[in-house]
Chains A and B, each alone.
Chain A
Amino acid sequence: MPEKTSHRSGIKLDKERCKGCMLCVEVCQRKVLEPAKGVNKKGMGYVVVAAAGKCSGCGLCVMMCPDCGIEIS
């Protein structure tokens, strides 16, 4: 059975605000987010939206992000 997807969530992650703490990756039940391979301009590891189609827009990642780096519209 194909995994349910939702297109109502416009999840955006600002990689320059991200410090790669991974609290969002840990809290996401749908594995929408994952660590990026490189670093951002500050030299910090960061997270990317790897599967935006799976995002339900629950906002748990937004709640846990210490850097206001994630936005769901």
Chain B
Amino acid sequence: MKQAPTHYCPGCGHGIVHRLICEVLDEMNLKEKTVAVAPVGCSVLAYDYWDFDTTEAAHGRTPAVATGIKRVLPDRLVFTYQGDGDLAAIGTAEIIHSGNRGENISTIFVNNGVYGMTGGQMAPTTLIGQVSTTTPGSRRADRDGYPLKIMEMMAVLPGVVYLERTTVTSPKEVTKTKNAIKRSFEIQLAEEGFSMVEVLSPCPTYWGLDPSQSMRRIENEVVKAFPLGVIKGGDHGP
């Protein structure tokens, strides 16, 4: 990580996930071989905080840009870093087709259930009953549909080799997230195919909760809609 303080709100999970990626790259001694692709969303400025090569893609198009980079530079570790508005809404086509092609890239998917950068609007991942600025009376399934489970959708694709959903609510879960990121990078280095780690992350600002309450909400509510664990590729040892 660079010394620059982040622009994230107090208690935001992005800071933790940013740090974990840096820790894994340092431990694997991969910093000089890595190219990250940053999304549009709250983490659009990730390149200001990471001290390895990072580029920026149009909204939702990070897997397409990462595909190009990886095919031109197959010896690099290429990963995309995306939020749920980026990956599960405008970028649904890119992520599904990257997985379907079995692109040898990694994706870190940070899911906080809202569009944070633009003001807390409903995302496809917003829970039923959750209040957002575009669902002030809460999300209703009959009007707004259901929370989109990208990981479970991706699991049926043969090109996808590893999917794990984790969270950052406690030191134990932070450690699991770090291990999952590491495993995803190892799978890419072994040229096995597409892998993705979804991190359930808090957005205290737009959930209207303090950081501690946000962590409890993930533990008590969000994990019921988005169950934690390895969704595909459990046989890939650490």
Contacts and interface: CB of A to CB of B under 8 A. Distances in A.
Contacts of B8: 66-67
B134 interface: no
Contacts of A63: 16, 171, 174-175
B238 interface: no
B6 A67 contact: yes
Contacts of B1: 68
Interface residues of A, number: 18
Interface in B132-161: none
Contact of A67 (B15, B204, B215): B15
Given A17-B5, A22-B211, A64 B171 contact: yes
B185 to A, nearest CB: 19
**Main DSSP-derived SS at the B contact region:** helix
A23 interface: yes
Interface string B202-218: 00100000111001000
B14 A16 contact: no
Nearest to B210: A22
B15 A68 contact: yes
Contacts of B170: 27, 64
B33 interface: no
Interface in B1-31: 1, 5-6, 8-16, 19
Contacts of B175: 63
Interface of A: 16-17, 19-23, 26-27, 42, 44, 60, 63-68
22 contacts: A16-B5, A20-B10, A21-B211, A23-B211, A23-B215, A26-B212, A27-B170, A27-B171, A44-B10, A63-B171, A63-B174, A64-B170, A64-B174, A65-B15, A65-B16, A66-B8, A66-B10, A66-B11, A67-B5, A67-B8, A68-B1, A68-B19
Given A23-B11, A68-B1, 6 more contacts: A22-B210, A64-B170, A65-B16, A66-B11, A66-B19, A67-B15
